[in-house]
Structure 1
């Protein structure tokens, strides 16, 4: 007999990796409108997405290292190289405004299309080359 899986509440944090945290901060704060709430120079910058969801942007060169034996927070090493992906849910009636906002700031739109169910996604890149998607949440319904 299969064991019943334990319930989860949802996604709490998502991580992207960028070596240039200053460029990441400018992009996520000034272009995307997310507020940074914690920064460790050369290691990470964390952004508030909603009251209970955060985007963590780490410098992989710093986080690939194992924690020191005396570390107060012994977070295991992690990191990724190459482009990751992050999707933000956007109300469908705000996607045109987002497209205009990004274009006005010189951000290239890599793709803008409707899924078979009619929901729309807009794709762009952050300064680290990560694939960023702005999508109508109905893509998954």
Structure 2
């Protein structure tokens, strides 16, 4: 791929959606909706659960189902999927991270690590039921 002689274009300004892949959608729903409080707004049993996060969407897919081509000509989504642990980071103020830590611990979720970055931003890491790394960090982490 070459990037010379391409027409100008603006870079994307935000992430609209991101995806994690899990083998057990029910366990993922219990974690993301029941424990973290995200709103599940679309579910296709055995295939996916979609959660609202402000203006963005967390797509949680079963890779066995999304790895096959779509049979719906109105939704020609290409096959996709991943195996192994992924990563997701939620932006939260420190006080909300502290409250989330207490909630996670009370639910029996182990804190994998927690620390302050060199710039002082705080991060807390746990694992979801599919072993994805779930981080809660202060929103100014990348400033």
CA displacement at 1:87 relative to structure 2 = 0.4
- Measured at CA, do residues 117 and 57 of structure 1 come closer, stay the same or move farther in structure 2, by a change above 3 Å? same
Tell me what 2:99 maps to. Answer: 97
Tell me what 1:80 maps to. Answer: 82
SS in structure 2 of the partner of residue 72 of structure 1: coil
Q: Where do residues 26-45 of structure 1 align in structure 2 (5 Å cutoff)?
A: 26-45=30-49
CA distance in structure 2 between the aligned counterparts of 1:102 and 1:93, rounded to whole angstroms = 14
CA distance in structure 2 between the aligned counterparts of 1:79 and 1:23, rounded to whole angstroms = 18
Question: How large is the RMSD of aligned CA atoms in angstroms?
Answer: 1.4
Structure 1's consecutive aligned runs of 4 or more residues displaced over 6 angstroms after TM superposition are none
> How many positions carry a matched residue from both structures?
139
CA distance in structure 2 between the aligned counterparts of 1:28 and 1:78, rounded to whole angstroms = 22
CA distance in structure 1 between the aligned counterparts of 2:103 and 2:70, rounded to whole angstroms = 40
Tell me what 2:133 maps to. Answer: 131
CA displacement at 1:125 relative to structure 2 = 0.4
CA displacement at 1:15 relative to structure 2 = 0.3
CA displacement at 1:9 relative to structure 2 = 3.2
Q: Where do residues 44-83 of structure 1 align in structure 2 (5 Å cutoff)?
A: 44-50=48-54, 52-68=55-71, 70-83=72-85
CA displacement at 1:130 relative to structure 2 = 0.3
